[in-house]
């Protein structure tokens, strides 16, 4: 895997676009949860603007994630800070790949549940969203610890592009 000195402008832009889209999915999920309850109760479901928002924004997250994966595999990512403990390097690496996996598995499970009415897919979607939330908390905590305690200036990587 390539080890450039930093992320490109496109990688950085797509990282922050993902942050906004994922935040909106969490903030605005109520309408989708209610629509799903109606499906389970056998009631008629209206494809309201907020339900459409959840479906289309979820699909957009999947598309953006595939583009990011392409960039990750072609351009690569900068190596972890040198002084970082080897166990933390492995953890960060695993967390980053877990993000890609979750950001694809979530829209897929959601779509399987919504378009086919498959209950276990909805249950998987709920578990996956909890895992994503936990990973985000860990990731943000790690970024803050790096920035303010380890003082590695890690945030600069997601602000200043190279190449
Ligand atoms: C929805 C929320 C977020 C997701 C899904 C996410 C996802 C990711 C992923 C997948 C990477 C690895 C990129 C790669 O190397 O391939 C990454 C890196 C990074 N993220 Fe996030 N992120 C999120 C929120 C944040 C927030 C809120 C911050 C700042 C507080 C942040 C700061 C960083 C930094 C500094 C890196 C570079 C780390 C490094 O190169 O070692 N992220 N993020
Ligand atoms: C990364 C993208 C996505 C995120 C972060 C996300 C997040 C969420 C969240 C937070 C909930 C509320 C769960 C709860 O009530 O506790 C939810 C529910 C739901 N979402 Fe998504 N979603 C995504 C993509 C999609 C897509 C693309 C579809 C459909 C095409 C979808 C269909 C559903 C359905 C049917 C529910 C209700 C069933 C359930 O609670 O599991 N989601 N989603």
> Ligand 1 pocket, 146 CB below 6 A?
no
- Is residue 52 within 8 Å of 114, Cβ to Cβ? no
Q: What average pLDDT does this structure show over 104-133?
A: 98
Run of H or E including 51? helix 49-74
Q: Whose CA is nearest to atom 27 of ligand 1?
A: 140
pLDDT at residue 130, as a whole number: 98
pLDDT tens figures, 45-89: 888 999 999 999 999 999 999 999 999 999 999 999 988 899 999
For residue 123, give Cα distances in angstroms to 9, 29, 106: 37, 15, 11
Domain boundaries, the chain: 9-158
Fold of 9-158: Fumarate Reductase Cytochrome B subunit (1.20.950)
pLDDT above 90: percentage of residues in the chain? 93
Q: Whose CA is nearest to atom 33 of ligand 2?
A: 110
In the reported structure, the alpha carbon of residue 159 is separated from the centroid of ligand 2 by a whole-number distance in angstroms of 30
How is 105-140 classified by DSSP, letter by letter?
HHHHHHHHHHHH--HHHHHHHHHHHHHHHHHHHHHH
Which of 4, 15, 60, 155 maximizes ligand 1 atoms within 8 Å of its Cβ, making it the mutation to test the pocket? 15
Which of 16, 139, 161 maximizes ligand 1 atoms within 8 Å of its Cβ, making it the mutation to test the pocket? 139
Q: What average pLDDT does this structure show over 123-151?
A: 97
């Amino acid at each position: 895997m390539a080890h450039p000195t930093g992320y490109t402008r496109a990688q950085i832009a797509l990282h922050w676009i993902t942050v906004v889209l994922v935040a909106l999915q969490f903030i605005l999920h109520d309408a989708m949860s209610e629509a799903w309850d109606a499906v389970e109760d056998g009631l008629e479901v209206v494809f309201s603007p907020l339900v459409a928002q959840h479906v289309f924004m979820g699909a957009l997250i999947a598309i953006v994630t595939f583009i990011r994966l392409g960039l990750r595999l072609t351009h690569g990512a900068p190596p972890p800070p040198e002084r970082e403990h080897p166990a933390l390097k492995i953890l960060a690496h695993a967390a980053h790949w877990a993000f890609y996996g979750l950001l694809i598995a979530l829209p897929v499970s959601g779509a399987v549940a919504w378009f086919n009415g498959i209950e276990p897919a909805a249950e998987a979607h709920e578990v996956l969203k909890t895992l994503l939330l936990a990973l985000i908390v860990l990731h943000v905590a790690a970024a803050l610890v790096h920035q303010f305690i380890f003082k590695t200036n890690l945030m600069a990587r997601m602000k200043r592009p190279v190449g």
